[in-house]
Structure 1
Amino acid sequence: MAHGESGPVGPAAPEAVMRARLGRECLYVPSCRFGLYLALRHWCEPGGRVLMSPVNDDVILFVVLAAGLRPVQAPLSATDGSLDVDAVPDSVWSGLSAVLTTNLYGHPDPAGRLRERCDRLGIALIEDAAHAIGSEVDGRPVGTFGDAAVFSLSKHAGARAGGFLALADPALRAPLEQARDALLDPVALTAELAYAVRPYAEATVRALRLAPAAWWALRLLGLQEREEIRMPLRSAELQRALASAPSLSGFHSWVRVDMHDYRVAPGRLRWRRIARLLARLDDRLAAHRAGTERLLATRWAAPGSAGARVQPLFRVPLLVHDRDAAVAALARRRITVGYLYDPPLDTYAGERFTDPSPSPANAARFARHALPVDPLRAGPVIDVLGAAGIEPARGLPGD
């Protein structure tokens, strides 16, 4: 069914659900990366500079580059990976076109302070709330501070299909909807089939304990393409692609990684699953919050976590001394650790493609020690780490 359909399996009902949650106009997008590209193109002139977190998915770096912008890596907190507003030099602030938050694993960036700074500078604040659909800052939902915010349906909701672009100014819906539709690929039968079989393929991977045949199936469907945490940068090709920016097409081979349908219009199957899972979202958020609370009470939690407001984190970043040993111990119990972002993006991409953080040590430390675990599996994770003798990270602020 066409992406603009407003009937029982179209976007109207899911958009209304998110509009009610946020109090903002919401536009369906086929992926967060696609939504971020739309927002960056609307609010930033090509050649501008965007402050962002160096502990983030490399796909987001390529989205910023595809929008014709220069990524500028920010200093971070060593305990939760949030943007450290006070550590950004005035010389960096003065040259920015926008700030892009991350809300890593659902832990909020200081959105209120970032909003104030952006207002003083007259630049856009764009919130990446892919991990943070239920998180709050100062009693307000993450995603209600920026000029725009993107939310994922693949994370807490588990729909594995698109998300929303939330807008502070409802008058911008029409032009951004037009820009979205101009960039969308039509509904594709192969994409719908891949979407339909993905849950079964992933179940097969678990059942076969990551057998080569199962990995091959995932790769064939475009669901698993990384050999390492970071995808290959391919510097020479990336340098040539910069000449095509702003353009998604020139960066397609990077932006599509692990999500080949990132710009494909949804079909009936997706709409039905989205509607079904959105109806269960509050229950999922409650379960994430309960698991987060258990994990933050352990000795591997970041210093200062005890007594803090518990967010329904998408993943809880425990801080461990030897992450490889922790990952291996969990893998033996068939608990997979994903969403690792190591090394930081300035180390990964180099000064050729990004401005490095003026204070990189905290980001490097957090990226090296963070063990992002699913709060829905809090009990088994705690048991495994305890039995394996995994030690907390040492020498962090607040120890």
Structure 2
Amino acid sequence: MRRRLGRECLYVPSCRLGLYLALRHWCRPGGRVLMSPVNDDVIFFVVLAAGLRPVQAPLRAEDGSIDVAAVPDAAWQGLSAVLTINLYGNPDQAPGLREHCDRLGIPLLEDAAHAIGSVVGGQPVGTFGEASVFSLSKHTGARTGGFLAIADPSLRSTLERARDELMEPAGSVAELAYGLRPYAEAAVRGLRLVGAARATLRLTGRQEREGIRMALRPGELEQALTAAPALADFTSWIRVDMHDYRLAPGPLRLRRTQRLLSRLDGLLEAYRAGVRTLSASRWALPRPGPVQPLFRVPLFVGDRDAAVAALARRRITVGYLYDPPLDTYAGPHFTDPSPAPQGAAWFARHALPVDPLRADTVLEVLDELGSRPVRPPARIVAAQPAMQGGTGV
């Protein structure tokens, strides 16, 4: 990854732990961080755990990227950092965000979990900020690990020590479970037992999300905030969907991750091919610029719930839904709401993020369903400035 990005890279057990490291290093507790409201709620809790106040940015309805020009002047003042989202791999307007950060003297931190291989302005996502975090659970399918890329290589030893203090020791049971997981999941899918497996999780109390968003639990969250910055007090939120997010990697994890990462170039080409197919469909919104190897392609349908159910019947799970936006989910007590929430609300409600590696089947299902394409209302698009230097799909 150092060769790919031209930056020093530090392995971390998860993208969320890497982001916590970056926030703690570059931001003083009590600061304010501009971020996307269409984001995983886990990331929201990571920002809170770092002792920071999330500030929700306006988004472009067409692609869910941060709308730099729509952020009011007043919102820029008093920020401690800007955190990009690069949703599904579609790049945020990093050059514009970089200019604002330079003018204000604050760090730009890039969440590139979905964006290995994406570029903006001919430059890789993850090379604009002081630091960026990548996930190896996404494109590579490693189901573990990530890395923190930093602009200043002299900081590596400091960040490495901070990482080691936060990691939990690897255990043989956890390593065995990790090794067996792909085979167990394949068996469940092959025997068509996905529904039964989910019912078992519900009955045993191990299903941590009843809907798209996890339960906020405001009373407990208020109490946790009194201890921030303190990662341990937020563990019950941050570990959701990944209980080993702080686990030091054992040899099995590292070998499997290295093997999968060695295939990255071929995987990125396969993603691009799927993106081309999906982007030519009537459910996609056209975007200028180069074809990106998106981790998920947002299609826009009138009845998303029906589309999700129809895809599930063909054993295609639609994940990475972030509805409602974080300011609606958490409320003004825990975050500064977006000054222009309409774009984020529309995108969050209508985007159907689908796997480009299943492009042909996805389009077949939507055709059979008669799914209706939708477009952002003219009043939302008209309120947004024209995009400079399109990032494309």
Q: Determine if the alignment matches structure 1 residue 308 to structure 2 residue 308.
A: no
Q: Determine if the alignment matches structure 1 residue 42 to structure 2 residue 25.
A: yes
Which of 183, 190, 195 in structure 1 is aligned with 2:173? Answer: 190
1:195 Cα offset (Å): 1.3
1:331 Cα offset (Å): 1.2
Which of 67, 86, 89 in structure 1 is aligned with 2:50? Answer: 67
> Match of 1:211?
195
| Structure 2 gap ranges (5+) | 383-393
Q: Determine if the alignment matches structure 1 residue 342 to structure 2 residue 306.
A: no
Moved more, 189-198 or 359-368: 189-198
> Match of 1:8?
none
User: For the residues of structure 2 that align with 1:117 and 1:219, how far apart are their CA atoms?
Assistant: 49
Deviations 1:210-265 (CA, angstroms, capped at 9, x unpaired): 2324653699897x532210000000000000011001101010000010000010
User: For the residues of structure 1 that align with 2:92 and 2:203, how far apart are their CA atoms?
Assistant: 34
User: For the residues of structure 2 that align with 1:176 and 1:127, how far apart are their CA atoms?
Assistant: 16
> Match of 1:14?
none
TM-score, normalised by the number of residues in structure 2? 0.93
> Match of 1:117?
100
> Match of 2:387?
none
User: For the residues of structure 1 that align with 2:264 and 2:82, how far apart are their CA atoms?
Assistant: 28
Q: Determine if the alignment matches structure 1 residue 143 to structure 2 residue 118.
A: no
SS in 2 for 1:298: coil
SS in 2 for 1:38: helix
Deviations 1:335-381 (CA, angstroms, capped at 9, x unpaired): 11000000000000001110000000110000000000000000000
> Match of 2:242?
259
Q: Is the 8 Å Cα contact of residues 61 and 376 (structure 2) preserved in structure 1?
A: no
User: For the residues of structure 1 that align with 2:176 and 2:266, how far apart are their CA atoms?
Assistant: 28
How many residues get paired?
379
SS in 2 for 1:358: coil
Q: Determine if the alignment matches structure 1 residue 375 to structure 2 residue 356.
A: yes
> Match of 2:9?
26
Deviations 1:160-199 (CA, angstroms, capped at 9, x unpaired): 1111100000001010001001111111223212211221
User: For the residues of structure 1 that align with 2:19 and 2:202, how far apart are their CA atoms?
Assistant: 26
> Match of 2:390?
none
User: For the residues of structure 2 that align with 1:220 and 1:129, how far apart are their CA atoms?
Assistant: 34
Following TM superposition, the consecutive aligned residue runs of length 4 or more in structure 1 with deviations greater than 6 angstroms are 217-222
Deviations 1:12-32 (CA, angstroms, capped at 9, x unpaired): xxxxxx000000000000000
User: For the residues of structure 1 that align with 2:162 and 2:203, how far apart are their CA atoms?
Assistant: 31
Q: Is the 8 Å Cα contact of residues 301 and 350 (structure 2) preserved in structure 1?
A: yes
Root mean square deviation, CA, Å: 1.7
> Match of 1:330?
311
TM-score, normalised by the number of residues in structure 1? 0.92
Q: Is the 8 Å Cα contact of residues 9 and 150 (structure 2) preserved in structure 1?
A: yes
Q: Is the 8 Å Cα contact of residues 47 and 54 (structure 2) preserved in structure 1?
A: yes
Moved more, 328-337 or 22-31: 328-337
1:309 Cα offset (Å): 1.6
| Structure 1 gap ranges (5+) | 1-17
SS in 2 for 1:211: helix
**Counterpart code for 1:153:** L
Deviations 1:120-154 (CA, angstroms, capped at 9, x unpaired): 00001000000000100111100000100001100
Q: Is the 8 Å Cα contact of residues 62 and 376 (structure 2) preserved in structure 1?
A: no
